Copies of this chain bind each other. A is one copy, B any other.
C-alpha cells in the first residue's frame, strides 16, 4: 500500500512515524506548500511540492491529508478527492455533515473513496459512542477530555498583549469523572466537567494581573470554566511543557432488564503521550481500510462509522478470527 502525506506539520510527522510500524505500507513522499528545500522529514522521506501532486496520481494508493480543519481541509479534501483516495482528520464537529457532502460528490465523480474525520475525536471516540449506545439504547453518554494540551486555547492565550508563550491543559474534574465511572448519570454543566490550567510566559515588566484577568474572562474559551493561571519562565515552559499529551474517556451508563433494574457502564479511554503521533497512527490504519474498500469497488465519502474493524488490521480475516476474536 503506497501512502503519501499532504501537508507536513505535527500530524504529517505523526503519519510518517506510523509508516515505520505498519509493514504493509510504503511512503511515496511528503507534499508541502512550503519551499521543498526548507522541509526536512523525520525519516528522510522525499519532499515534493504540493503543486506537483497530480504527477504522482498513479503512484499513490491513498493520500493522507494533514491540513488544519479551520481553513485547509474544507478546500483540500473535496479538491483532491476526485483524483485520489484520501483520508483526513476534519474535526469541526458542527461542519462534518457539509464537509461530507462536499467530498462525497467529488469522490464519486472520480471513482475514488474518501474517509473524513478520522483520528480519536472525531474517530475512535465516535466509534465508542456508537457501540455503547447500540449495546445500551437506554442510557446517558459522557465525554471527558484530558489531561491534555489544547492547541486552540494555547493559541488564544498567546494572542494576549504581553504574552510570550503559553500552554493550556484541559483537565477533567475528578468528582464528575468518578461519579460517572461509578454508574451515576449526573447532569453536568460545562464547569462541572472540565477545568483549565494555563502556563504562561509573560514579557518582562508586563502587568500579570491584567493578563490573568484577560485569560479568565475570555468568552467561550475560559469564562465558563474554573481556570488557573501560572506564570513561569520560558526555560521552564520549554523543559516541563514541551510535549503534546492528550486523552480522555467516553463513558456510557445504561439500563437493561424488564424494569430497567440493572445498570451497566461501558468506558473507552485514551492516555496519549503525543496527540499528533497517535492521531497519525489512526489515520494510517484508516488509509489501509480505504485502500481495501476501494479495491472492493466502494466509492464516495465514508466515515469511521462505515468501516468494519477487520479492514483496519494488517492481519488476515482468518488470523483475526483465530487470535483476536
Contacts and interface: CB of A to CB of B under 8 A. Distances in A.
A266 interface: yes
A228 interface: no
A121 to B, nearest CB: 9
Interface string A255-284: 111100011111111111110011011100
Best-surrounded residue of A262, A266, A304 (most CB of chain B within 10 A):
A262
Given A129-B324, A305-B321, A313 B96 contact: no
Interface in A113-165: 117, 122, 124, 126-131, 133-138
**Number of identical monomers bound together in the oligomeric complex:** 2
A183 B265 contact: no
Contacts of A8: none
- Chain A interface category by residue count: 35 or more
A39 interface: no
21 contacts: A14-B256, A21-B136, A21-B137, A96-B322, A124-B131, A127-B309, A130-B312, A131-B312, A135-B278, A135-B281, A135-B282, A135-B285, A256-B280, A262-B274, A262-B277, A265-B272, A267-B267, A267-B270, A303-B325, A305-B324, A306-B310
